[in-house]
Chains A and B, each alone.
Chain A
Amino acid sequence: MRIPCPYCGERDAHEFAYLGDATVTRPDPAAADAAQAFHDYVYLRDNPAGAHQEWWYHANGCRQWLRVARDTRTHAIAAATSARVSGEPA
């Protein structure tokens, strides 16, 4: 698999470390329901067959965390954007 790093260009997946689901957001720790929200944030994951948003870290490259749009069935990668840029990649 090859990931188009916005900084380094297309690179082999071996250069990256995988974290997982990029659709979850760290909840507000001060909220009244923080305990339940953090439980869901830490443990609950969908396992979609198809388009997915994932965190990949370019460990052996630019050290940037990337939000990668990958199809879990075909491994086709639609886009990869820097985590610092908000919003989902096209």
Chain B
Amino acid sequence: MSAPNRNRLTSGGLIDREKPLGFRFDGTAYRGYEGDTLASALLANGVRLVGRSFKYHRPRGIVAAGAEEPNALVELRTGARREPNSRATVTELYDGLEATSQNRWPSLAVDALSVNRFLSPFLGAGFYYKTFMWPAAFWEKLYEPIIRRAAGLGRAAEEADPDHYEKATAFCDLLVIGAGPAGLMAALAAARSGARVILADEDFLPGGGLNAEAGDIGRQPAPAFAAAIAAELMNLPNVRVMRRTSVFGVYDSGTYGALERVSDHLPVPAPFQPRQRLWRLIARRAVLAAGATERPIVFGGNDRPGVMLAGAVGSYVQRHAALPGQKIALFANNDGAWRDMLAAHAAGASVETILDVRAEVAPDLVAAARAEGIRVLTGAQVIATQGKTLTGFTVATASGTERIAADTLAVSGGWSPALHLTCHHGGKPRWDEAIAAFVPGTCPPGLTVAGAAKGIFGLGACLKDGAAIGAEAAGALGFAVPALDVPEVADAPFALAPFWHVEGSKGAAFVDLQNDVTAKDVGIAHKEGFRSVELLKRYTTLGMATDQGRTSNVTGLAIMASLTGASIPETGTTIFRPPYTPVSLGALAGHHRGKDFRPVRLTPTHEWARAQGAVFIETGAWLRAQYFPRKGETDWLETVSREVTAVRSSVGLIDVSTFGKIDLQGADVGAFLDRVYINGFAALAVGKARYGVMLREDGMVMDDGTTARLAPEHYVMTTTTANAAKVFQHLEFCLQVLWPELDVALSSVSEQWAQIAIAGPRARDVLARVADGDVSNAALPFMGAIEGTVMGGVKARLFRLSFSGELGYEIAVPARQGAALASALMQAGEEFGITPYGIEALGVMRIEKGHVSGNELSGQTTAGDLGFGRMASTKKDYIGRVMAARPGLTDPERPCFVGFKPVDPSRRLRAGAHFLNLGATPDMANDQGYMTSVAYSPHLRHWIGLGLIKRGPERLGERVRAYDPVRGEEIEVEICAPGFIDPEGVRLRG
């Protein structure tokens, strides 16, 4: 381990000196302590240069002590866990932490690209829009690669993230956002009333500003006061304290988004723990107690490492016992910063000089400073800085200019309430002259603001306000709130003179450190007419990126206001949107990654099919057997052709459980089916099934399937696999919204029944050995549907249906019996060489038979297009009937469903090919339709196709061209009837 910290106080602070932690920055080993952030540990080790800036590669140091940090962005960890743009100020130190500075080459100290500083005239405001515009071809090849190399931030990991992320939901009566003085008191007031409270804070240590407070509260130090309240809250059963959790967005109906950094403070997550957890917090009321953010004063050279926010200097000294430097100066416009510096000085920091832009400062402050030997200059402005890291600065007063030595210049231009979440429903902040800051305007419903977040800057007042707001919120929810004893803290008067920018200072004066936007850039935007705050932001990029302008927004628009002569409220502010702080995409994705993007549904016979050697394919949400290759088969077509031939010559089986199955019961099911199918069902006999086609209300085909009547008031419908959920939802709509008077109840039973189809000339022989009852042609004729048992007492439904065109049955059993049924069928069919087949063979056979499927049920076809015109009843109304009669949908020129075969039988057909008349030019005007499905028919020994072509049924025997410019193919095909096999249906009735 490295040497002891040279900039660490020997006592004080909320670090555990008994628990040293080793870490590395840019390869060098350092030591920090438990309780440190990476930033505080770097400062304690005297590391002041931590990164290079975005555009100009200027050396940069740590500026802030919280989420607002614009400069100290580092790459954390290595390899697959490498994480760019991590703010060192909120990175909790752990033993073994590895961090690397960003945006520098070859090293942080010597950066070859800092030459960009000399290019700054070209990289100023709006450079995206006006530089490198000509010649256009150079942009992609030359300018953009150069700019991307030179400008930018960290590098993302190049391997997949090895950690996992999860999502969770929690409910509460009151959500308190921020565990500072106001938040702790709000939570405590509500918690003691019995309300369910969630207190979320982004820090690993609850307390917020109390942890950097030097004074006492009651009779104990402020951090101990915070710890005592936090401990009480953590022990209450109705309170959940969520540390390391940033509430980043306010959504509808009291829903809040929050990110919990479960394992970011560990080298790797503990077993079974996610790295981060994305929370959906549902709160009846919420209190925003996010505090305030200090803002800088803009002057030349204000980006030099060593120039920091005054509150941050105070925080590092008080909370981490870390000294940002050995010779500290303050440059401020307000009393609060004086008090922070005097407290830091008392704690052991060496504050040597205090400058204030005000000519008059409260005499007690001046006296207190002088009593400590601190030199005081009023009416003073910093006009330049010196050193690679700060060694001194030049100050101008009424009596002239002077150089003053300092390694740290603490700056304070006042404080801005962290009101971001109040804007998430469109609320506009309001300017408060008294504190020269924006305060919350209209808040999202249910959200109230407490403490510094609404512009109350005294500690005592924040404690009181938090308690009052917490009590009010709990009271409004009906809880009896006991009176809370709030300790008295005397607040000094708030005194500030608005001051934003030292005009005429020397060197680049940065408004936005993260985006390298200078006061001059704001001037350019003004000169070029981009004066509205929204245009200023986009033209200069001021306020963008990870810090979202926490430290720069108000200053930028104040400078713009002074240029236009308008007031700040007239100039306005940009609106804040979620997220408040960056949220990783991993957390938003949660477990939905890669193969887990969505759940995979397995058929009841999945394991059985695997044992049979099935190759599986995703079909919608399902994983289904595609085909069952055997040893020696060289490609899928060989396998599929074997499966088809086996079915057509003997018998095969396939799991069809994925079809949607809907149970319908009630006195009016027949009438209901009549209204949703184009064909009639009311007259369907018990024990019979019928094929049906249903339309959407706009007249297009929605789905098809068979419905069987098992009993007078009991039907079961099947839908296509893809449309199962959609059809069910549609039927519920028809029933509940359109015809609530009908006596029908629906239930989806897709999951409850396994269904296996057997097909082929020996199908009945196989079924007879498995079924417990009579399955002869008389007992179970074509389109018959009976309930019975199989395998010696297993409840079953037997349907005599055929998709393949062969004698076929579908056997439904309770889902858990599906695999047993498959095995029983295999055993029963062994003597006939029963063959399991997959959905490829199923597809080939349905094309041979000329059945429509998903490719034809495209949502753009009518019943007439698909040859179902004569099925449509004229004796009743049904969904889609009126609209299907529109002229456009009954036009005889519409492409209609027919079959196609290649004139040269050796040629392969392609789905998607468009039809052209012989000799026609290939263009849209001559388009006749397109091929929807193709297959190689082992029965016919050539390729066959189905498709839609204008006036198709009138053109049987005609030759057209199938034109496929995508594959560069064009072949001559003959139009034929869509049934290539057994068009009379002898086989399936046999």
Which residues of A come within 8 Å of B, CB atoms?
1-2, 10, 12-13, 17, 19, 26, 29-30, 34-35, 38-39, 41-43, 55, 57, 59, 63-65, 74-77, 82-84
| Contact between B729 and A57, CB atoms less than 8 A apart | yes
| Contact between B881 and A29, CB atoms less than 8 A apart | yes
Given the known interface contacts A2-B282, A17-B729, A35-B885, the answer about A64 and B736 at a Cβ–Cβ threshold of 8 Å is: yes
| Contact between A55 and B882, CB atoms less than 8 A apart | no
Contact partners of B740 in chain A: CB under 8 A? 83-84
Given the known interface contacts A29-B882, A84-B740, the answer about A75 and B733 at a Cβ–Cβ threshold of 8 Å is: no
| Contact between B737 and A38, CB atoms less than 8 A apart | no
Contact partners of B169 in chain A: CB under 8 A? 12
Q: Which residue of chain A has its CB nearest to the CB of B885?
A: A35
Contact partners of B713 in chain A: CB under 8 A? none
Q: How far is the CB of A88 from chain B (nearest CB, A)?
A: 14
Task: Check if B485 is an interface residue, CB within 8 A of chain A.
Answer: no
Contact partners of B772 in chain A: CB under 8 A? none
Q: Which residue of chain A has its CB nearest to the CB of B698?
A: A42
Alpha-carbon distance A13/B697, docked complex (angstroms): 26
Name the contact of B253 in the complex, choosing from A39, A63, A75 (C-beta under 8 A).
A75
Q: Which residue of chain B has its CB nearest to the CB of A82?
A: B736
Which residues of B come within 8 Å of A, CB atoms?
169, 251-255, 280, 282, 425, 445, 697-698, 725, 729, 732-733, 736-738, 740, 877, 881-883, 885-886
Q: Which residue of chain A has its CB nearest to the CB of B746?
A: A63
Alpha-carbon distance A30/B738, docked complex (angstroms): 15
Q: Which residue of chain B has its CB nearest to the CB of A27?
A: B882
Contact partners of B736 in chain A: CB under 8 A? 64-65, 82-84
Given the known interface contacts A17-B729, A57-B729, A65-B736, the answer about A35 and B877 at a Cβ–Cβ threshold of 8 Å is: no
Name the contact of A38 in the complex, choosing from B252, B425, B882 (C-beta under 8 A).
B882
Contact partners of A65 in chain B: CB under 8 A? 732-733, 736-737
| Contact between B252 and A55, CB atoms less than 8 A apart | no
| Contact between A1 and B252, CB atoms less than 8 A apart | yes
| Contact between A35 and B886, CB atoms less than 8 A apart | yes
Q: Which residue of chain A has its CB nearest to the CB of B741?
A: A84
Q: Which 5 A-B pairs have the closest CB atoms?
A: A2-B253, A1-B252, A75-B252, A38-B882, A29-B877
Q: Which residue of chain A has its CB nearest to the CB of B738?
A: A26
Given the known interface contacts A38-B883, A39-B883, the answer about A1 and B733 at a Cβ–Cβ threshold of 8 Å is: no
Alpha-carbon distance A52/B828, docked complex (angstroms): 61
Q: Which residue of chain A has its CB nearest to the CB of B444?
A: A74
Contact partners of B883 in chain A: CB under 8 A? 38-39, 42
Q: How far is the CB of A79 from chain B (nearest CB, A)?
A: 13
Q: Which residue of chain B has its CB nearest to the CB of A63?
A: B732
Given contacts A13-B252, A35-B886, A38-B883, 18 further A-B contacts (CB under 8 A): A2-B252, A2-B253, A2-B254, A19-B733, A26-B697, A29-B877, A35-B885, A38-B697, A57-B729, A59-B725, A63-B732, A74-B425, A75-B253, A77-B253, A83-B736, A83-B740, A84-B736, A84-B740
Name the contact of A55 in the complex, choosing from B697, B698, B737, B877 (C-beta under 8 A).
B737
Q: Can you list 17 contacts pairing A with B, beta carbon distance less than 8 Å? A: A1-B253, A2-B253, A2-B282, A12-B280, A17-B729, A29-B877, A34-B882, A39-B883, A43-B698, A55-B733, A57-B732, A63-B732, A65-B733, A65-B736, A74-B425, A75-B253, A76-B445
Contact partners of A57 in chain B: CB under 8 A? 729, 732-733
Contact partners of A39 in chain B: CB under 8 A? 883
Q: How far is the CB of B653 from chain A (nearest CB, A)?
A: 33
Name the contact of A59 in the complex, choosing from B255, B729, B886 (C-beta under 8 A).
B729
Q: How far is the CB of B731 from chain A (nearest CB, A)?
A: 10
Alpha-carbon distance A30/B877, docked complex (angstroms): 8
Among the interface residues B445, B725, B729, which one has the most CB atoms of the partner chain A within 10 A? B729
Contact partners of B254 in chain A: CB under 8 A? 2
Given the known interface contacts A42-B697, A65-B732, A76-B445, the answer about A2 and B737 at a Cβ–Cβ threshold of 8 Å is: no
Contact partners of A13 in chain B: CB under 8 A? 252
Q: Which residue of chain A has its CB nearest to the CB of B882?
A: A38
Alpha-carbon distance A29/B280, docked complex (angstroms): 46
Alpha-carbon distance A89/B280, docked complex (angstroms): 28
Q: How far is the CB of B671 from chain A (nearest CB, A)?
A: 15
Q: Which residue of chain B has its CB nearest to the CB of A65?
A: B736
Contact partners of B251 in chain A: CB under 8 A? 1
Q: Which residue of chain B has its CB nearest to the CB of A35?
A: B882
Among the interface residues B169, B253, B255, which one has the most CB atoms of the partner chain A within 10 A? B253
Q: How far is the CB of A13 from chain B (nearest CB, A)?
A: 8
Q: Which residue of chain B has its CB nearest to the CB of A34?
A: B882
Alpha-carbon distance A13/B737, docked complex (angstroms): 20
Alpha-carbon distance A1/B251, docked complex (angstroms): 7
Q: How far is the CB of B535 from chain A (nearest CB, A)?
A: 26
Q: Which residue of chain B has its CB nearest to the CB of A58?
A: B732
Given the known interface contacts A26-B738, A76-B445, A84-B740, the answer about A1 and B729 at a Cβ–Cβ threshold of 8 Å is: no
Contact partners of A64 in chain B: CB under 8 A? 732, 736
Given the known interface contacts A57-B729, A83-B740, the answer about A1 and B255 at a Cβ–Cβ threshold of 8 Å is: yes
Contact partners of A38 in chain B: CB under 8 A? 697, 882-883
Q: Which residue of chain B has its CB nearest to the CB of A31?
A: B882
Contact partners of B255 in chain A: CB under 8 A? 1-2, 12
Q: How far is the CB of A75 from chain B (nearest CB, A)?
A: 4
Q: How far is the CB of A15 from chain B (nearest CB, A)?
A: 12
Q: How far is the CB of A7 from chain B (nearest CB, A)?
A: 12
Alpha-carbon distance A77/B254, docked complex (angstroms): 12
Contact partners of A26 in chain B: CB under 8 A? 697, 738
Alpha-carbon distance A17/B252, docked complex (angstroms): 17
Alpha-carbon distance A65/B169, docked complex (angstroms): 25
Alpha-carbon distance A83/B738, docked complex (angstroms): 9
Q: How far is the CB of B717 from chain A (nearest CB, A)?
A: 16
Contact partners of B733 in chain A: CB under 8 A? 19, 55, 57, 65
